[in-house]
Structure 1
């Protein structure tokens, strides 16, 4: 039953990206890759939401995916993600490496990595992405460590969770 629920969410997010949306949802996928000893993270958010947030926070005009798009926008994206997203692996705070972003329709995908992780017993996620800009914002966290999958839905009142494997 859980699988069907999350499959539907994964299906709904891209479908919603083709119309003006009234849903405020981001998806953060966290996967521990034992062979590379790293935690790989993919975050997707609606382009107009992240653009609105950054434009307001920094008094800029990003104009994402247009010819007038700011050339140094990765600086703003990385700074925003570092401010709104924190991870602890086995109770130890870990910095992530910002690898970049890509656009797909109305979504922005951010790619992050935490390197030099020998094993994972727990991941604490603090995710405040877009929470101060949209009252109904929710941030879905999906994770996989080995064969164990965990998920949690975070919100303005509940933005931190520890996932244990």
Structure 2
């Protein structure tokens, strides 16, 4: 009986360690897409971020202490995500700092899609973007940005510590 118990314990420990290994990923990257919608006069933003890294950042920086996949308090998690993103993702439209409104998020596989918006954007001739998402957690963090205005798409890759990009249209 003791031998079976020992084998059972060893197999469970091995299983847990493999699960922990599979949960991690070998690279740290987020992808943010911005598109100016001339009809609604809004800058629509979506950011794809590994949800486990985002959850760790929210906890470490004191924005939220909840499970992103199954939050106990969705309103508090929403506030924490909004505060974290407002701190680490900022936009200037034509050299004017604009308020970025957090709309919500959804989980897809291993990523959290975070949705934001900048309203009342009459025209866009330049975009200045600060993106330091997850820089405090991972020194090797890379943030990719794709920005589209009137069908013209421009992209860049920011690697910590570089956290700003400017696009001209």
Per the TM superposition, whether the score is higher than 0.5 is yes
Matched, 1:62 2:62: no
One of 27, 30, 35 as aligned partner of 1:26: 30
Q: Residue by residue, what CA displacement relative to the aligned partner does 1:20-50 show, whole Å, maximum 9, x if unpaired?
A: 3111000110000111111000011000000
One of 95, 113, 131 as aligned partner of 1:127: 131
Q: CA deviation at 1:56?
A: 1.1
What's the C-alpha RMSD, in Å, of the aligned pairs? Answer: 1.6
Give the equivalent residue in structure 2 for 1:75.
Answer: 79
* Cα 1:60/1:37, change in 2 over 3 Å: closer
SS at match of 2:61: helix
Larger Rg: 2
For the Cα contact (< 8 Å) 1:63–1:70, is it kept in 2? no
Give the equivalent residue in structure 2 for 1:158.
Answer: 162
Answer 1 or 2: which has greater helix percent.
Answer: 2
Give the equivalent residue in structure 2 for 1:53.
Answer: 57
Matched, 1:91 2:95: yes
Separation in 2, partners of 1:163, 1:89: 10
Give the equivalent residue in structure 2 for 1:148.
Answer: 152
Superposition TM-score, scaled by structure 1 size: 0.84
Separation in 1, partners of 2:150, 2:66: 39
SS at match of 1:58: coil
Would you say how many aligned residue pairs link Structure 1 and Structure 2? 147
Question: Mind listing any 5+ residue stretches in structure 2 that lack a counterpart?
Answer: 1-21
Give the equivalent residue in structure 2 for 1:136.
Answer: 140
Separation in 2, partners of 1:150, 1:19: 32
For the Cα contact (< 8 Å) 2:37–2:43, is it kept in 1? yes
Question: Mind listing any 5+ residue stretches in structure 1 that lack a counterpart?
Answer: 1-17
